[in-house]
Homo-oligomer: A and B are copies of this chain.
Amino acid sequence: MRIALDAMGGDFAPGAPVGGALEALDGLPESAEILLVGRARDIEAELARAGGTPERIQVVDAPEVIGMAEKPLAAVRGKPQSSIGIGLRLQREGKVHAFISAGNTGAVMAASALILGLHPGIERPAIGALFPTASKPVLVLDVGANVDSSARELRGFAHLGAVYARDVLGRSDPAVALLSIGEEAEKGNATVREAHTLLRAETHAFRFVGNVEGRDVVRGDVDVVVCDGFIGNVVLKFYESVAHLFAGLLRQEMAASVLESEGMRRVSAVLDYSTYGGAPLLGVRGVSVICHGRSSARAIKNAVSVAARAVGRNLSEHIGADMANGTAA
């Protein structure tokens, strides 16, 4: 297994990606290799600082860099020799099996769709994010690849989420829910009401458990929550900021002994996004994992292990098969 990692992506590049790659090696199969894609000189300097280049790490030079604030499509087209472009083309050519980036999310999305292509039957790819709960995390999608999703697209997200939950999260019979403002089928906006009807008709591909409300998302009862990308993005970022708000309040009010206690560490760990690593871009032909721009080496390491699991379980093939099988959008 070979995984390409964008060494130039994210606020702490190339330090965090290079560090993450080094940390990830131990958890990967013996035969797995990581290709660090980016400005070779920068990557090599970083590796030298960390004590040299292990055998299972390769450096692939990519002279161009797409900035975090660049317009996605223009950047992807205008910089074919970027780490994002080169990393994804390596995957299309079969030279690697997955691509991971903490870089410009829009550019990674656009380049993934352009270079890898979509599985037949997929109208729009979706970004899935794992939301921490008190028990197992829940996959919410879409969290920002799309806005104004149609009911058919929402149904497509349900398929993508169910396959991912099975393959990568190990949920054998995933419960898929639709985000709305009431449990009843007639609650919600026009698109959600229509999506509810479409999902009710999906009796083979996954277990649709009906609508959930905002209060149910992090209850841990369901495996997948389907929503429009606008709302998923708002809720994802809101969750992150609320976690910061709580942490800040606690820091302000609690003694150091409490803040540094084992209990507080466990509380923080539950709410720490970096535990889950990257967010998969689902629907593309291949494996593309998008990380938070502020990803630490630890977050990158976890994203590598997510990508490795997706490759090892044949996620992309299963999504293709699911689409070929069913009534999916």
Q: Is A45 an interface residue (CB 8 A)?
A: no
Q: Within residues 225 to 278 of chain A, which ones have a CB less than 8 A from any CB in chain B? A: 228-231, 233-243, 245-246, 248-250, 253-255, 258, 261, 263-264, 266-267, 270-271
Instruction: Assess whether A219 is interfacial by the CB under 8 Å rule.
Output: yes
CA distance A261 to B250 in the complex (A): 12
The CA-CA distance from A258 to B280 in the complex, in Å, is: 39
> Is A214's CB within 8 Å of the partner chain B?
yes
Among B133, B179, B242, which residue has its beta carbon within 8 angstroms of that of A218? B242
Q: Which residues of B contact A237 (CB under 8 A)?
A: 213-215
Give CA–CA (A245, B250) in the complex, Å: 15
Asked if B215 contacts A240 (CB within 8 A), the reply is yes
Identify which of B133, B229, B242, B270 contacts A239 (C-beta below 8 A). Answer: B242
By the criterion CB–CB under 8 Å, are A263 and B270 in contact?
no
Residue contact A181 to B134, C-beta cutoff 8 Å: no
Q: Is A241 a contact partner of B216 (Cβ separation < 8 A)?
A: yes
Complex Cα gap A188–B144 (Å): 10
Asked whether A181 lies within 8 Å of B266 as measured between CB atoms, the reply is no
Q: Are A238 and B250 in contact (CB under 8 A)?
A: no
Please tell me if A190 contacts chain B, counting CB pairs below 8 Å.
yes
Number of this chain's copies in the complex: 2
A325 on interface, CB distance cutoff 8 Å: no
Given A214-B233, A214-B236, A219-B241, 16 other A-B residues pairs in contact with their CB atoms under 8 A: A134-B248, A148-B189, A148-B190, A179-B234, A188-B230, A189-B228, A192-B230, A214-B235, A216-B241, A217-B241, A218-B241, A249-B267, A249-B271, A254-B261, A254-B263, A255-B263
Q: A215-B237, A248-B134, A258-B258 are in contact. Are A230 and B181 (CB under 8 A)?
A: yes
Contacts A/B (CB < 8 Å), 11 sampled? A144-B181, A147-B189, A181-B233, A216-B241, A217-B241, A218-B238, A235-B238, A246-B267, A249-B271, A250-B267, A253-B263
A181-B233, A230-B188 given; A238·B239 CB < 8 A? yes
Q: Give the chain B neighbours of A253 by CB distance below 8 A.
A: 263-264, 266-267
Q: Mark A166-191, 1 if CB is under 8 A from B, else 0.
A: 00000000000001110000001110
**Identity of the chain B residue whose Cβ is nearest the Cβ of A265 in the assembled complex:** B253
In angstroms, how far is the closest chain B Cβ from the Cβ of A210? 16
Q: Which residues of B contact A188 (CB under 8 A)?
A: 147, 230
Contact B134 A245 (CB under 8 A): yes
User: Do residues B217 and A249 form an inter-chain contact, with CB atoms below 8 A?
Assistant: no
Closest to A217 in B: B238
Least CB distance from A178 to B in Å reads 12
Q: How far, in angstroms, from A217 to B249 measured CA to CA in the complex?
A: 16
Complex CA distance for A132 and B261, rounded to whole angstroms? 27
CB A6 to nearest CB in B, in angstroms, measures 21
B230–A230 CB distance below 8 A: no
Q: How far is the CA of A214 from the CA of B234 in the complex (A)?
A: 4
How many Å from the CB of A328 to the closest CB on chain B?
23
Q: What is the CA–CA distance of A36 and B277 in the complex, to the nearest angstrom?
A: 54
